[in-house]
Amino acid sequence: MVGGARICLGQIGAPHGVRGEVRLRSFTAEPDAIASYGPLEIEDGGIVQIESLRPAKDHFVATLAGIRDRDAAEQLTNAKLYVARERLPQLSEADEFYHADLIGLIAVDRAGNHLGTVIAVHNFGAGDLIEVRATEDGATELIAFNETNVPTVDLGAGRIVIEPSPLAGEDKT
């Protein structure tokens, strides 16, 4: 998230071919929905419009408005694509969250003891992980974001409840 008002929906990769197409990774729940958001912003304030999108092996190949050659496509390599937070659809389920809404939440245990702060949400392919920076030593820990490990998310109160790992605090030597 940039500037608190925009949410990252995807990232442009390397050019694909010589006609200006680019590789594109989508971070939306339904990956091809990224094309339905209309114009997207990039870091420098520029606007990108996806004209067409087709699936490839582990990404999409996209045609962007105004990008018609490889040189122009190369200028956008690694650019992140953002949308204003208010343009995102309302969530229909009580247990659905936008990753950006979780970042900054205070992490507590069931007794209310302060454990740290959520600093990031990752997904490396096996499900969402929250990264929590510990209050005491500043170390970070990745925790599977599921109902077992995170039984409560209270956006209104700005906190999550974490069920500590059975290994937490044990001497592992």
CATH number at residue 45: 2.40.30.60
CB neighbours of residue 21 within 10 Å: 20
Q: What is the pLDDT of residue 165?
A: 56
Into how many domains does the chain fold? 2
Q: What is the pLDDT of residue 1?
A: 36
Average pLDDT over the chain, rounded to an integer:
88
Q: What is the pLDDT of residue 171?
A: 46
Domain check: are 60 and 122 in the same one? no
Would residue 137 count as lying in a domain?
yes
The SS3 of residue 89 is coil
CB neighbours of residue 134 within 10 Å: 14
CB neighbours of residue 40 within 10 Å: 25
- 144-167 pLDDT, tens digit each: 999 999 999 998 899 999 997 544
Would residue 32 count as lying in a domain?
yes
% of the chain at pLDDT higher than 90: 65
Residues 6+ apart with CB under 8 A from 163: 109, 110, 148, 149, 150, 151
Domain hosting 107: range is 99-161
Domain check: are 34 and 81 in the same one? yes
Element (H, E) at 74: helix 70-74
Domain check: are 107 and 82 in the same one? no
Average pLDDT over residues 3-15: 84
Would residue 170 count as lying in a domain?
no
Q: pTM of the entire structure?
A: 0.70
Q: What is the pLDDT of residue 168?
A: 53
- 95-131 pLDDT, tens digit each: 788 888 899 999 999 999 999 999 998 877 778 899 9
Here the tokens at position 10 are: 């995807």
Here the tokens at position 63 are: 């045609």
Q: What is the pLDDT of residue 100?
A: 83
